[in-house]
Amino acid sequence: RSPLEPKPRALLLLPFYNHTYLLSTLLPVTGVLDDCLCDIDSIDNFNTFKIFPKIKKLQERDYFRYYKVNLKRPCPFWAEDGHCSIKDCHVEPCPESKIPVGIKAGSSTKYLKVANSTKELEDCEQANKLGAVNSTLSNQSKEAFIDWARYDDSQDHFCELDDERSPAAQYVDLLLNPERYTGYKGSSAWRVWNSIYEENCFKPRSVYRPLNPLAPSRGLCLEKRVFYKLISGLHASINLHLCANYLLEETWGKPSWGPNMKEFKRRFDPVETKGEGPRRLKNLYFLYLIELRALSKVAPYFERSIVDLYTGNVEEDADTKTLLLNIFQDTKSFPMHFDEKSMFAGDKKGAKSLKEEFRLHFKNISRIMDCVGCDKCRLWGKLQTQGLGTALKILFSEKEIQKLPENSPSKGFQLTRQEIVALLNAFGRLSTSIRELQNFKVLLQHSR
């Protein structure tokens, strides 16, 4: 047995009960979150019993498991240090032959039923073009698609999106390339997070060390506090995944992955982090609330009959949409949502300027993900920042979503398949993080 392996391993199979007493004594992450009226125990229970089982199942569906990404884009900010040579950093792209025909056929319009009326997508190359909709479509419908694409290319994204038409963009099977500890660390990894916190993140002026911001966030307005918490929460979530899927030992070329208590304590223990660890975990819960709110707000977009999560397998596509709508119903039932209307609510000129600063800061962070030297870390970093960027886009498009037509594309608000896949997988990662945290609480209890 590896010295890093928690004992006993059987504990990993225990159900996740409410351990409020354990939190307060070993890992003080309890109570109401700042800047919203939601308590952590409520989120734990909601995630464990309603969200996690369904989102995990959704991520296994073909529509959501294949993600097209360009992992070869150069870093726009500094000369690259070279790519990680550790084998676990490698990402295995998915052969075109393995991609469902309805996915690889298509432009971003392909999840709409009106765009899926080509005769079984016989020619995938031609179907890649925007004009490859059924010739029986009216000229008005064709013009709507052209206008939509033109709008989508010019609208204000919160993320730097990969060009899916680039020869360097490849499909990746997310289930075969899971996020876990790869051994990527040191100056290259530090520079990425340092750049995010020091140059692109609103934070208290007194904070210097990016990974250990001890000072309280006094002096920051709500919007800037929210931004900082989102980035900190994303960082905490990624760290939790690495701690929970750590290479414990490798015997005869067969790796053994599992939770690493020593690594978890190093990153989150109140004593070892001088009190900062619990704050990071609270920011994870805050990020979960933000993305949960976005899912509840975007539900009307997917509830329209025109939206069809198209892979070419009619029966599975219908089941996938039913499951997705079921998840949306759950998100809408949550009673303590974050109120995004409290943001950018000042005078119109100042609010507009702050919102644009907010957007540009986040867009810059999405570009920094192209500077990550480990391909697997880059993959999941890009997906999760794009998912959060899509959530922000949704939260700031409420009026456009309310005006969506039932049976035709809308110029006011659209989501590409890439954004949809990133949004749901990013939220799935947060749901998994909170579930993994419950596991560590159980392990902490039994290690004392």
- What are φ and ψ of residue 328, in 5° steps? -60, -40
Catalytic residue among 94, 159, 201, 377: 377
Catalytic residue among 84, 89, 371, 374: 374
Cα(422)–Cα(383) distance, integer angstroms:
5
124 noted as active-site residue:
no
For residue 330, what are its two tokens? 């759950």
DSSP code at position 23: H
| Count of CA atoms in the C-beta half-sphere (13 A) of 228 | 27
Whether 191 has a binding-site annotation, put simply, is no
Which residue from 75, 154, 158 is spatially nearest to 384, judged by alpha carbons?
158
User: CA 85, 376, 9, 276: dihedral to nearest 10 degrees?
Assistant: 100
Cα(399)–Cα(179) distance, integer angstroms:
35
Radius of gyration of the chain (CA): 22
Length of the chain: 448
- Burial class from Cβ neighbours inside 10 Å (0-12, 13-18, 19+) for residue 408 reads middle
Which residue from 158, 155, 195, 154 is spatially nearest to 359, judged by alpha carbons?
158
Whether 205 has a binding-site annotation, put simply, is no
Which residue from 107, 133, 139, 102 is spatially nearest to 118, judged by alpha carbons?
133
Whether 182 has a binding-site annotation, put simply, is yes
Which residue from 158, 108, 228 is spatially nearest to 388, judged by alpha carbons?
158
| Count of CA atoms in the C-beta half-sphere (13 A) of 61 | 28
DSSP code at position 65: H
Cα(323)–Cα(329) distance, integer angstroms:
10
Whether 359 has a binding-site annotation, put simply, is no
75 noted as active-site residue:
no
Whether 235 has a binding-site annotation, put simply, is yes
Binding residues: 180, 182, 193, 232, 235, 267
Residues catalogued as catalytic? 374, 377
Query: Which residues carry a binding-site annotation for FAD?
Result: 180, 182, 193, 232, 235, 267
